[in-house]
Amino acid sequence: MSQLKPIHVPVRLAGRSKRGLRTQFGALCYRVVEGKTEVLLITSRTRKRWIIPKGWPMDGRSGAQAAAREAWEEAGATGSALPRCLGVYSYAKVSGPRKGLPCLVAVFPLAVKKLHANYPERKQRKRKWFSLEKAAQKVAEPELRAILAAFTHEHLPAPHPAGDDGAGD
């Protein structure tokens, strides 16, 4: 049996309107310390809320690869991106030219192997490791809270040793 390669098709559920629902890809960056799962959260650039790294689709990259790239750019995290979507959550983008734009974020797990001190958005965001329970309390979106509350790395396939960090370098 051949393994299916993940593909990405951007989603716009509200017709052709530029204000319609848009797809983003997010990375649930995690590590296991002394048997306990921890999740890396970052602050948003403008409102300084705790969020996961996320961003727009990227040509030539799967959802998991795009999420991994965002994890690198926004949090300096690299590791093994897994192509299994953990769930989706919605929010309204409230900054920049896309103010009030409804977004649907597909969340992919990223087993963090390294946190880099030098990364593109290091001066714009803070990052911090939280327990799953604490992370769920810190984020504002109810669906993301549910994804965090249900997350367990034990049911994920083992990451490849070399990893697919999606950083593209």
What 3 state SS string does 61-75 have?
CCHHHHHHHHHHHHH
pTM: 0.82
Please list the alpha-helical segments (H only) found in the chain. 63-75, 132-138, 142-150
Q: Grade residue 100 by pLDDT with cuts at 50, 70 and 90.
A: confident
CA distance 43 to 48: 5
Looking up residue 42, the CATH number of its domain turns out to be 3.90.79.10
Q: What is the pLDDT of residues 144-153, one digit of tens each?
A: 999 999 998 8
In a domain, 83, yes or no: yes
Residue type (1 letter), 75: A
In a domain, 124, yes or no: yes
In a domain, 17, yes or no: no
Q: Are strands 36-43 and 127-131 parallel, antiparallel or unpaired?
A: antiparallel
Is residue 107 within a helix (H) or strand (E), and if so which, with residue range? strand 101-115
Q: Closest Cα to residue 115, out of 83, 168, 80, 79? A: 79
In a domain, 160, yes or no: no
Q: Determine what percent of the chain is predicted with pLDDT higher than 70.
A: 78
| Residue 41 near residue 126, CB atoms below 8 Å | no
Q: Closest Cα to residue 23, out of 107, 96, 99? A: 107
In a domain, 148, yes or no: yes
The residue range of the domain holding 55 is 22-154
In a domain, 168, yes or no: no
In a domain, 111, yes or no: yes
CA distance 166 to 64: 8
Q: What is the pLDDT of residues 9-35, one digit of tens each?
A: 444 444 445 568 899 999 999 999 999
In a domain, 133, yes or no: yes
Q: Looking at the 3D structure of the chain, how many domains does it have?
A: 1
